[in-house]
Structure 1
């Protein structure tokens, strides 16, 4: 399953539209006012199905992931030099990425790809292509991509 992740150009808070390979809206992501980033994910019918919440007052950035109101895991940045490293506390997943943070893979505990993420350059807003190998992990992978993008925005 392929998802196209596009940030909206004009919005007060982080807002994204997520499309499938046919151009249909699959998810809508809306930022909410809070300390740190808070992104709420809605399905195409407008039902809230997930949330990414930045924990504030932590030494390194940390984002908690909620699916249908239930905590499922978190993403935290690790101390590293030259390239950023992230720890995913969910299903044994981990990230393998590039120096520029534009292309990376989310891998399961056996090292198999759950999702591959690439940033499309030369767009007015952040635009990513997420290739998810198993459709049941599409929302989970999307929420971790949103957390990584929010962490990168926090650094700028």
Structure 2
């Protein structure tokens, strides 16, 4: 299952639209006013189904992940010198990024591929393609991409 993740061009807060291969909106992400990033994920019908919330006052950036209002895990930037790496406390997944921080792979503990994330260049706003092996993992894979993008956004400000 492929998802196209596009940041909205004019928005006061982090806002994204996530489309399937047919161009239909699958998810909408709305940033909420808070200390640190707080992103609410809505399904195509506008129902709140998830939240990515930044923990503040941590040594390295950390984000908590919620499905509906249930805590399912976290993702935290790991200290590395060259390629970005994140420690994930969710499904045992691991994330490894490329040197330029444009491409990522999400894997199971056994090494099986969960999703690949590729940043598309030459767009006015952040645009990613998320290729998820199992469609049931799409929401959680999206949450990881949102957290990684929010961490990069915080670093560039």
CA distance in 2, matches of 1:97, 1:144: 12
The DSSP-based 3-state class of the residue aligned with 1:22 is coil
1:91 positional shift? 1.2
Q: Does residue 85 of structure 1 match 2:85?
A: yes
The DSSP-based 3-state class of the residue aligned with 1:92 is coil
CA distance in 2, matches of 1:71, 1:88: 13
In structure 2, the residue matched to 1:97 is: 97
CA RMSD of aligned residues (A): 0.6
After superposing the two structures, state which structure 1 stretch, 87-96 or 32-41, moved more: 87-96
Q: How many pairs align?
A: 156
Structure 2: gaps spanning 5 or more residues: none
TM-score by length of 2: 0.98
TM-score by length of 1: 0.98
1:84 positional shift? 2.2
The DSSP-based 3-state class of the residue aligned with 1:104 is strand
In structure 2, the residue matched to 1:23 is: 23
Structure 1: gaps spanning 5 or more residues: none
1:26-105 equivalent positions in 2, closer than 5 A: 26-105=26-105
1:83 positional shift? 2.5
| 1:96-125 deviation line (CA, Å, top 9, x unaligned) | 221011111100111111010000000000
1:73 positional shift? 0.6
User: Where does structure 1 differ by over 2 angstroms across 4 or more consecutive aligned residues?
Assistant: none
CA distance in 2, matches of 1:79, 1:130: 24
CA distance in 2, matches of 1:132, 1:8: 22
